[in-house]
């Protein structure tokens, strides 16, 4: 198999490109496109022309699929070419066995993508079987689709219903009691907001990507439903043998550019700093299970960065995979993400199952792409809508430590959900 990579004559934004490709796919009777927008593979967007995504229910199979890659010749630096688009839901490893409306995982092989590089140029990239001609006619068809102005699609959704604040208070208090009893150091306790949804999920993602500018936004859709993610968090990137994770813990609301003092206050918060340091240590230990001895490091600790509606504390952990370790082993060692479970992780998973009233679904799982050329990148599926059969769900939550306050934790959930609820209208 070889790579075809050609520059396109267009300067449309990724939101309009995705919308145009959605119209094109529907007209041709193809599966809808998939999209990664923000900061993926050192590019601003990677969009699959069409992604036929099949449900996967077995966790071992879900971890193994991204390792099934063809050898590709003529790779170009920076190119993606295609690969496995999909998600891994939290349900895959939920010890309670609960499941949401969407499948536990989906994956689909894609061999045609558009990539918007960091300089603003679009590339048509294709993985072509040896002996097959370059798909230049398909590239021309895509250029024509991008040149047209698609009709504006719409969606509608009423206000999301929320659980009673007292339900979240009780879960937080029970978690604090478990921490005080020495069962664990931290756990992530979440709630689920729900509502009705009508219209085009692509339109919702396109508007959200334009408005929120999330660093790890992702869109997947199929007969099984849709996932519309505006995540700011990197779960895993693996390029060659180098692997990196950037856990987020610590949150304060962000309203405008004049509230930079809140960013400084976040770095000085004992509770938020403790959250981040504990989870950074957990991620370091997770990667240490599959990385070469002595290669795991923390090059960045407690960086303050903006996300939609909030400030976050981020840290970065990186290492070099040991010999014989593939992406399946990497996922088995690290999933679900430590920043949305707790420490120790096994006890946190059990406590979450005890204290949360519903399954999480895709929320706090991971979404992304595994490419035979560019490697693996997955977000943490937070700030993520799940759409199925006329309903939409949004998970929100936060890390609980010994000094957590129930009301403050509920307000943090509302701060995180506010930009997404405004987007829904």
Catalytic residue IDs: 233, 249
Please state, in angstroms and rounded to a whole number, the distance separating the CA atoms of residues 401 and 185: 7
Please state, in angstroms and rounded to a whole number, the distance separating the CA atoms of residues 318 and 182: 29
* Pairing relationship of beta strands 216-222 and 225-231 according to DSSP bridges: antiparallel
Please state, in angstroms and rounded to a whole number, the distance separating the CA atoms of residues 211 and 342: 31
Going by C-alpha positions, the residue among 119, 127, 111 that lies closest to residue 44 is 119
Going by C-alpha positions, the residue among 307, 369, 420 that lies closest to residue 36 is 369
Dihedral over alpha carbons 368, 371, 377, 380 (to 10 degrees): 20
- Cβ contact 202:221 at 8 Å: yes
**360 DSSP assignment:** -
Please state, in angstroms and rounded to a whole number, the distance separating the CA atoms of residues 226 and 190: 21
- Cβ contact 361:162 at 8 Å: no
What is the DSSP secondary-structure string of 64-90? HGGG-----BS--TT----EEEEEE-G
Please state, in angstroms and rounded to a whole number, the distance separating the CA atoms of residues 95 and 350: 6
Q: Where are the beta strands (DSSP E) in 213-255?
A: 216-222, 225-231, 234-239, 242-246, 248-253
- Cβ contact 245:305 at 8 Å: no
- Cβ contact 313:303 at 8 Å: yes
Length of the chain: 425
- Cβ contact 285:332 at 8 Å: no
Q: How many helices (H) and strands (E) does the chain have?
A: 10, 23
């Amino acid at each position: 198999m070889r790579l075809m990579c050609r520059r396109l004559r267009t300067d449309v934004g990724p939101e309009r490109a995705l919308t145009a490709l959605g119209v094109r796919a529907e007209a041709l009777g193809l599966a809808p496109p998939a999209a990664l927008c923000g900061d993926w593979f050192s590019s601003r967007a990677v969009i699959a022309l069409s992604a036929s995504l099949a449900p996967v229910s077995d966790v071992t199979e879900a971890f193994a699929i991204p390792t099934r890659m063809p050898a590709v010749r003529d790779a170009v630096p920076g190119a993606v070419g295609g690969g496995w688009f999909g998600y891994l839901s939290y349900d895959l490893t939920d010890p309670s066995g609960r499941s949401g409306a969407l499948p536990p995982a989906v994956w689909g092989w894609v061999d045609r993508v558009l990539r918007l590089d960091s300089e603003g140029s679009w590339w048509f990239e294709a993985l072509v079987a040896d002996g097959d001609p370059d798909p230049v006619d398909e590239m021309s068809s895509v250029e024509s689709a991008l040149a047209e102005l698609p009709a504006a699609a719409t969606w509608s959704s009423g206000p999301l219903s929320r659980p009673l604040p007292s339900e979240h208070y009780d879960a937080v208090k029970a978690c604090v009691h478990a921490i005080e009893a020495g069962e664990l150091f931290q756990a992530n306790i979440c709630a689920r907001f729900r509502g009705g949804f009508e219209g085009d999920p692509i339109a919702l993602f396109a508007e959200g990507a334009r408005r929120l500018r999330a660093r790890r936004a992702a869109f997947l859709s199929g007969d099984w439903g849709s996932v519309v993610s505006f995540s700011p968090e990197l779960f895993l990137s693996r390029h060659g043998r180098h692997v990196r994770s950037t856990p987020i813990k610590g949150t304060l609301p962000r309203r405008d550019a004049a509230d930079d003092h809140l960013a400084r206050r976040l770095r000085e918060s004992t509770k938020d700093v403790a959250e981040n340091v504990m989870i950074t240590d957990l991620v370091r230990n997770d990667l240490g299970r599959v990385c070469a001895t002595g290669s795991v490091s923390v090059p960045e600790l407690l960086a303050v960065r903006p996300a939609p509606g909030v400030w976050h504390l981020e840290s970065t952990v990186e290492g070099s995979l040991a010999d014989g370790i593939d992406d399946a082993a990497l996922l088995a060692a690290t999933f679900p993400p430590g920043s949305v479970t707790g420490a120790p992780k096994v006890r946190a998973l059990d406590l979450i199952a005890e204290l949360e009233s519903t399954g999480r679904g895709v929320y706090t799982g991971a979404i992304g792409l595994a490419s035979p050329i560019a490697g693996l990148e997955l977000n943490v599926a937070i700030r993520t809508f799940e759409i199925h059969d006329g309903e939409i769900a949004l998970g929100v939550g936060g890390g609980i430590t010994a000094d957590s306050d129930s009301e403050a934790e509920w307000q943090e959930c509302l701060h995180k959900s506010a930009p997404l609820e405004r987007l829904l209208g």
